[in-house]
Amino acid sequence: MKDIIRSIASLPRRQKQIVLVLMDICVLPLMMWLAYAIRLARPNVQVMQGLDAWYIYVGIFGIAIFALLGIYRAIVRSFNEDYLLRILIGTFIQIVVLYSIKKLNVAFIPMSIPLMYGFMLFSYMWWSRAVIRYATLKTFAKKQSRKRVAIYGAGLAGQQIAAALNRSDDYLPVCFIDDKKSLRSQSLSGLKIYSPQKAQTKLGKFGIEEVLLAMPSVGRARKKEIIESFDSADVKIMELPGVTQLVDGQVQVSDIREVDIIDLLGRDPVPPKAELLEKNIKNKVVMVTGAGGSIGSELCRQIVKHQPKLLVLFEMSEFALYSIDRELQASDIQIIPVLGSVTNQPKLERILQQYAVQTVYHAAAYKHVPLVEANPFEGIYNTSIGTQRSVDAAVNQNIETFVLISTDKAVRPTNVMGASKRMAELYCQGLASTNPKTQISIVRFGNVLGSSGSVVPLFKKQIAQGGPVTVTHPEVTRYFMTIPEAAQLVIQAGAMGTGGDVFLLDMGEPVKIIDLAKQMIRLSGFRAIDENGIGDIEIQFTGLRPGEKLYEELLIDAENVEKTDHERILKSYEKYLSFDEVLKVFEDLKDNQMLLCKLKLILNKYVDGYKL
């Protein structure tokens, strides 16, 4: 029996799905017959009288409903509440259809049959998957019921976690993996130490389910190499937290966690410069617009660490404002939450004057490319006009520093969202050329991991559901940075400005989105389905969305760039419009009766790279 289970479990994912479909298509008509037999208390019954070949309809319709709900896409070993809910919905739909058939007199169906069939169908779907999962786990389980783990790193942290795992009920350490030649073929704490190459051949033999990275001080670049070395192995990668979290010198099982996706960037953050972080913040009144957004909220978290006199949160989303305000109230900094839109210049000026604001970080903007593409006027109004009114309010109130947070999508944009950001940049550059008392700077960077709209949370959700993971195009690439690093660099770049500056954050190497998807699937302990149909989770290509580019750029003119005192911040010298010219353009953009074609003509004329 175990050999049969092993042979089925080793089949490609497509063939496993076919096995499940064939099993269900045979059992569903049997369930219907059984409902009639129990209802009429005899085996010789006419099922769904009046509907010839009823068993074909019952089987095919049932399979189609479950297939549409993703029952056959989900991985049986990830059997969870979401999976059960889908089965329940599919069962309910079939009950409703049976009552509809009865009502329409298509076939003879006693009133109790749909409910009886539904109960038996749900029970069968639930228990069949539970039995498959149990039998699979039992077949592949070793003598111990604990997860078999290989520990990568035979140092102090590795030894401590091995001792902790031996005492736990959940994990069983099987061996060590270490790069040091002097440790190879040695034993430590009763566990043999293998080289990474040797260990690859032993993982399957030893039934190892997880590889635990016990190197808390290793850099991201090295960690990325290690993770990638296990691409061909059917194991999940876990890790211990950073060395700063292990200051007590005692590693515990509870310290084990999934590998952070930021490690796939392979780049270690640069320590921030304290003098730049504090220049525009310490003992000053600071305001953040869009304070509840991904970047805005992280800016607020970083700002309160550097002792401002007062922090004003300006946000138009009530829930987002409530969330960040509640979070920051735990600090000893006075927080002022203000509900409002950046397009309301009189209110902005009143708030700036009332609290004597000295530094403004303007993070408010619409940023979802397809949504702005579908709502271009709102995108222009909120992002471009909103920035104009925000910076005008700051200049009118003689604010010391105004920092516009921009995006790489503003460079030769193919979408309205990027064009709206470039128009905002042009206005700030034009206004800065008039030498106002306010120091105006622009900071431009790419995607941040974990922000709203980021692919990372979407991929995590899709993987948890058993796939498919959706990627727009096999060649699409993006720059990525963590939210905390981006926020720190924004603050430091703003402190380096002299007026009209365009700062670029060094985003490292661009990442292929399909590679990111495959790595996330691997880190979750699954394999992406390859061209031979072997694997667990499918990657689907959905096509580029309206206005989406294959790749993003940070520079409009690559020639006019210079380094700054910070190795991750560059300064760009780009052409811009005179203030009189850009002011006239913005007067046209405010026209409420403007046609879409006219709006796009304006963007086409003034935004480099934008095409109709």
Q: Which residues contact 225 (CB under 8 A, 6 or more apart)?
A: 266
Say what the pLDDT of residue 250 is: 53
Dihedral of alpha carbons 349, 353, 354, 358, sign: positive
What letter would DSSP give residue 385?
I
Say what the pLDDT of residue 429 is: 93
d(C-alpha 611, C-alpha 590), whole Å:
21
Start-end of CATH 3.40.50.720 domains in the chain:
147-259, 274-448+479-507+553-606
Residue 349 has pLDDT above 70, yes or no: yes
Write the CA distances from 528 to 18, 135, 468, integer angstroms: 18, 24, 9
| Band (513; pLDDT cuts 50, 70, 90) | confident
Check: CB of residue 224 under 8 Å from CB of residue 195. Answer: no
pLDDT tens profile 82-104: 788 889 999 999 999 999 988 88
Say what the pLDDT of residue 571 is: 85
Say what the pLDDT of residue 251 is: 54
d(C-alpha 329, C-alpha 557), whole Å:
43
CATH number of 147-259: 3.40.50.720
* DSSP output for 289-340: ETTTSHHHHHHHHHHHTT--SEEEEEES-HHHHHHHHHHHTTSSS-EEEEE-
Lowest mean pLDDT: which of 117-126, 184-193, 333-342?
184-193
Residue 247 has pLDDT above 50, yes or no: no
Q: Which of 484, 164, 473 is CA-nearest to residue 302?
A: 484
Write the CA distances from 295 to 28, 311, 361, 540, integer angstroms: 52, 16, 10, 30
Say what the pLDDT of residue 141 is: 53
User: By three-state DSSP, how is residue 112 classified?
Assistant: coil
pLDDT tens profile 518-570: 888 877 777 788 777 777 888 999 888 776 777 766 555 556 677 888 878 88
Rounded to 5 degrees, φ, ψ at 141 are -75, 145
| Band (360; pLDDT cuts 50, 70, 90) | very high
Q: Which of 229, 236, 286 is CA-nearest to residue 256?
A: 236
Residue 25 has pLDDT above 80, yes or no: yes
The residue from 284, 409, 518, 549 that is catalytic is 409
Rounded to 5 degrees, φ, ψ at 265 are -70, -25
pLDDT tens profile 102-134: 888 888 888 899 999 999 999 998 888 888 877
Tell me whether residue 409 is one of the annotated catalytic residues. yes
Residue type, 286: V
User: By three-state DSSP, how is residue 260 classified?
Assistant: coil
194-201: long-range contacts at Cβ-Cβ below 8 A with a sequence spacing of 24 or more? 196/152, 196/226, 196/229, 199/150, 199/175, 200/229, 200/230, 200/232, 200/233
- The size of the chain, in residues, is 612
User: By three-state DSSP, how is residue 125 classified?
Assistant: helix
Q: Which of 204, 214, 256, 258 is CA-nearest to residue 236?
A: 258
Mean pLDDT value across residues 227-245: 70
d(C-alpha 448, C-alpha 471), whole Å:
17
Mean pLDDT value across residues 21-44: 89
| Band (302; pLDDT cuts 50, 70, 90) | very high
Residue 252 has pLDDT above 60, yes or no: no
d(C-alpha 491, C-alpha 276), whole Å:
7
485 or 336, which is more confident: 336
d(C-alpha 563, C-alpha 513), whole Å:
29
pLDDT tens profile 46-72: 888 888 888 888 889 999 998 898 888
pLDDT tens profile 438-493: 999 999 887 776 555 567 778 888 888 888 899 988 888 887 777 888 888 889 98
User: By three-state DSSP, how is residue 497 classified?
Assistant: coil
Say what the pLDDT of residue 346 is: 96
d(C-alpha 342, C-alpha 424), whole Å:
13
Residue 248 has pLDDT above 70, yes or no: no
Residue 241 has pLDDT above 70, yes or no: no
pTM summary value:
0.66
First to last CA, the chain: 65
Check: CB of residue 284 under 8 Å from CB of residue 273. Answer: no
Dihedral of alpha carbons 463, 466, 468, 474, sign: positive
145 or 588, which is more confident: 588
Could you please state the CATH topology (level 3) that the domain comprising 274-448+479-507+553-606 is classified under: Rossmann fold (3.40.50)
Q: Which residues contact 201 (CB under 8 A, 6 or more apart)?
A: none
Residue 77 has pLDDT above 70, yes or no: no
What is the rounded radius of gyration, in angstroms, for the C-alpha atoms of the chain? 30
557 or 42, which is more confident: 42
Say what the pLDDT of residue 307 is: 92
d(C-alpha 443, C-alpha 313), whole Å:
20
Residue 505 has pLDDT above 70, yes or no: yes
Average pLDDT for the chain: 84
User: Of the segments 261-265, 271-275, 584-588, 592-596, which one has the largest average pLDDT value?
Assistant: 584-588
Check: CB of residue 438 under 8 Å from CB of residue 583. Answer: no
- Phi-psi sector, 535: left (phi>0), alpha (psi -120 to 50), beta: left
